[in-house]
A and B are shown apart, each in its own frame.
Chain A
Amino acid sequence: MSDREFGGNDELSLPKATVQKIITEILHSDPGVTFAKDTRDLLIECCVEFITLISSEANEIAEKEAKKTIACEHVKAALEELDFGNYVPAILEVAADYKKTQASREKKQTKIEQSGMTEEELMQQQLELFRSATDKFNSGPQ
Chain B
Amino acid sequence: MPPTLKDERDDDGEYYPDATVEEKPSRARKAKQEGNGTNNLVGTEHIEVKTKFPVARIKRIMQADDDVGKVAQVTPVVVSKALELFMISLVTKAAVEAKARSSKRVTSAHLKQAVTNDEQFDFLTDIVSKVADAPAAAEKSEDTVMEGEGKKRKGGARKKRKADDDDF
Contact = CB atoms under 8 A, between A and B. Distances in A.
Contacts of A79: 82
A18 to B, nearest CB: 6
25 contacts: A11-B60, A23-B87, A25-B50, A26-B87, A27-B106, A33-B99, A34-B106, A42-B127, A43-B90, A46-B90, A46-B127, A50-B123, A51-B62, A69-B72, A70-B72, A84-B86, A86-B41, A90-B82, A94-B77, A95-B77, A97-B22, A101-B16, A115-B8, A128-B2, A129-B2
Interface in B18-37: 21-22, 25-26, 29-30, 33, 36-37
Interface residues of A, number: 76
A30 interface: yes
Contact of B38 (A54, A74, A90): A90
Interface string A103-131: 01100100100110000000001001100
Interface string B74-108: 11011101111111101110110011000011111
Which of B9, B25, B75, B98 has the largest count of A CB atoms less than 10 A from its CB? Answer: B75
B5 interface: yes
B61 A69 contact: no
Contacts of A52: 61-62, 64-65
Nearest to A93: B37
Query: Is chain B's binding surface mostly helix, strand, loop or mixed?
Result: helix
A81 interface: no
Interface string B122-144: 01100110010000000000000
Contacts of B54: 15, 18
Contact of A94 (B12, B60, B78, B88): B78
Interface of B: 2, 5, 8-9, 12-13, 16-17, 21-22, 25-26, 29-30, 33, 36-41, 46-51, 53-54, 57-58, 60-65, 67-75, 77-79, 81-88, 90-92, 94-95, 98-99, 104-108, 110-111, 115, 119-121, 123-124, 127-128, 131
A32 B104 contact: yes
A71 B30 CA distance: 23
Nearest to A10: B57
A50 B83 contact: yes
A33 B95 contact: yes
A83 interface: yes
A39 B13 contact: no
Query: Is chain A's binding surface mostly helix, strand, loop or mixed?
Result: helix
A109 to B, nearest CB: 12
Contacts of B124: 46, 49-50
Contact of A49 (B62, B94, B110, B123): B123
A132 B47 contact: no
Contact of B37 (A72, A89, A108, A132): A89
A89 B81 contact: no
